[in-house]
């Protein structure tokens, strides 16, 4: 049962949170023994100027730098293997990732390939990375993926057209330098999509079969923070108060799901993202309400607590008391709130708006059924039941 008394573990990197964390890239890389650093980033983050700031910090610490930027919005096996080749050819000895979930996941997988001398596909699944990667420092520039603190790396297999998960405590970065300033260059759509990713992490971690008091604490605080700060961050892109709140939400959600696992929403989102090359946050934004409805009967009391946290977050400004919701209204109110947040930026509300054909649904469901995220879903679901969810969202 979710939240039971079973033995649980909790893993996390060293974390530095706050304005100015980015400029500590050089100090922490040097502390880890780095001399020649592979900086993994992407063209958008480079254009925003954050990669250059990290490079400057590294060079001020007398470290040499090699930049690898061939990372797409959904990092592929080809990008990982290419990045690993660059690491070896350039005789690098550690990695610094600057960017959102894509560069950070790519950097994690590059490290696993380098240390184990295996193809990235061999790491698919749980606990399949034998040797720890080279030291890794992450500087997240989005507030949602939490790849900077998690033991997950999500990579796209271009041949099968599916995303697969590498889950291992060896994937946990050594240091996360979390600087809320780096998120002010995100446009509204990305702000909302990544914020909904954080919310989905929190919801799925809280109702997970592997949840614990340690993860519950972080998951519920994420829900409060998202309810309070996501609308403001989307409305005022340069508002550091809301950016700080969303960065904290991303961090808390990452600590929750990295240790409690996820569920059917992420299993479906990975399958959809791999098949249609869709942004992960947008898939979660669309599917979360359907996931809540499908899983509600398994742990209704947990969903009631999530709704209560939502309402507490909304009422923080006024400090007004929050009345409990009648049990028969919980699911309706929760789904409505999730929908309102997801719709802030006009994110598609039906799968067909993403280009999904009805005839593709069985294949998407089959891949989702094989995703390890489904293992901790509070309700056992077979491929046919996952199809039903997809048809409902189509």
Contact 389, 369 (CB under 8 A): no
* pLDDT for the residue numbered 323: 84
Q: Name the domain boundary from 127, 150, 181.
A: 181
Q: What φ, ψ does residue 97 adopt, rounded to 5°? A: -100, 130
Q: Name the domain boundary from 138, 158, 181.
A: 181
Question: pTM to 2 decimals?
Answer: 0.95
Contact residues for 18 (Cβ-Cβ < 8 A; gap 6+) = 178, 179, 180
DSSP lists the bridge partners of residue 76 as: 156
State the number of CA atoms in the 13 A half-sphere of 93 facing the CB: 10
Label residue 231 exposed, middle or buried (CB < 10 Å: 0-12, 13-18, 19+): middle
Q: 143 with 22, same domain?
A: yes
Mean pLDDT, the chain, whole residue set = 94
Q: 98 with 200, same domain?
A: no
| pLDDT tens for each residue of 271-301 | 998 888 888 888 998 999 999 999 999 999 9
Contact 272, 328 (CB under 8 A): no
* pLDDT for the residue numbered 164: 93
User: ∠268-304-391 over CA atoms, to 5°?
Assistant: 30
State the number of CA atoms in the 13 A half-sphere of 228 facing the CB: 23
Task: Find the CATH number of the domain harbouring 29.
Answer: 3.40.50.1970
pLDDT at 261 over 60: yes
Q: 247 with 191, same domain?
A: yes
Calpha distance 281→201 (Å, rounded): 10
Q: 322 with 278, same domain?
A: yes
Domain-located, residue 383: yes
- Arithmetic mean of pLDDT, 210-228: 97
pLDDT at 68 over 90: yes
Domain count, the chain: 2
Domain-located, residue 349: yes
Contact 1, 235 (CB under 8 A): no
Distance, C-alpha 288 to centroid of its chain? 14
Higher pLDDT, 1 or 198: 198
Domain-located, residue 135: yes
**Residue in 344, 226, 331, 228 with CA at minimum distance from that of residue 289:** 331
Task: Find the CATH number of the domain harbouring 244.
Answer: 1.20.1090.10
Lowest mean pLDDT across 49-63, 170-184, 342-356 = 342-356
Q: 239 with 388, same domain?
A: yes
Q: What are the start-end ranges of the E strands in the chain?
A: 14-17, 36-40, 64-68, 94-99, 125-126, 136-140, 152-157, 162-167, 175-178
Q: 199 with 311, same domain?
A: yes
- The residue range of the domain holding 40 is 14-181
Calpha distance 205→260 (Å, rounded): 5
Q: pLDDT band at 5, cuts 50/70/90?
A: low
Q: 218 with 344, same domain?
A: yes
Contact 263, 291 (CB under 8 A): yes
Contact 364, 272 (CB under 8 A): yes
Domain-located, residue 346: yes
Q: 153 with 203, same domain?
A: no
Domain-located, residue 9: no
Q: 101 with 210, same domain?
A: no
Q: What φ, ψ does residue 98 adopt, rounded to 5°? A: -125, 110
Number of H helices, E strands in the chain: 14, 9
């Amino acid at each position: 049962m979710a939240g039971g008394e079973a033995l649980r573990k909790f893993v996390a990197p060293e974390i530095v949170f706050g304005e100015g964390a980015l400029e500590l890239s050089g100090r922490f890389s040097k502390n880890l023994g780095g001399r020649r650093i592979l900086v993994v980033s992407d063209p958008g983050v480079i254009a925003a100027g954050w990669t250059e700031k990290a490079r400057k910090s590294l060079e001020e610490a007398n470290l040499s730098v090699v930049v690898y930027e061939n990372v797409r919005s959904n990092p592929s096996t080809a990008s990982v293997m290419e990045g690993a080749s660059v690491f070896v050819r350039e005789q690098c000895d550690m990695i610094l990732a600057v960017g959102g979930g894509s560069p950070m996941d790519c950097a994690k997988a590059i490290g696993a390939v380098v240390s184990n001398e295996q193809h990235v596909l061999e790491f698919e699944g749980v606990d399949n990375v034998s040797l720890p990667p080279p030291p890794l420092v992450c500087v997240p520039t989005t507030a949602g993926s939490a790849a900077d603190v998690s033991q997950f790396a999500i990579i796209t297999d271009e041949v099968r057209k599916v995303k697969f998960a590498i889950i291992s405590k060896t994937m946990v970065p050594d240091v996360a330098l979390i600087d809320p300033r780096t998120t002010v260059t995100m446009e509204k759509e990305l702000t909302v999509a990544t914020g909904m990713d954080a919310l989905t992490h929190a919801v799925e971690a809280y109702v997970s079969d592997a949840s614990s008091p340690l993860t519950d604490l972080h998951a519920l605080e994420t829900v409060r923070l998202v309810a309070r700060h996501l609308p403001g961050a989307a409305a005022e892109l340069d508002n550091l108060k809301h950016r700080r709140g969303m960065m904290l939400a991303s961090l808390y959600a990452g600590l929750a799901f990295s240790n409690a696992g996820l569920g059917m929403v992420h299993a479906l989102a990975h399958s959809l993202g791999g098949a249609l090359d869709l942004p992960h946050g947008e898939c979660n934004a669309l599917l979360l309400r359907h996931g809540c409805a499908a899983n509600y009967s398994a742990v209704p009391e947990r969903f009631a607590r999530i709704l209560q946290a939502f309402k507490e977050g909304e009422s923080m400004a006024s400090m007004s008391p929050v009345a409990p919701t009648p049990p028969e209204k919980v699911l309706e109110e929760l789904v409505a709130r999730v929908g309102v947040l997801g719709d802030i930026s006009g994110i598609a509300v039906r799968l067909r708006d993403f280009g999904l054909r009805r005839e593709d649904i069985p294949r998407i469901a089959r891949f989702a059924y094989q995703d390890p995220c489904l293992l901790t879903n509070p309700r056992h679901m077979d491929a046919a039941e996952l199809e039903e969810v997809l048809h409902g969202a189509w």
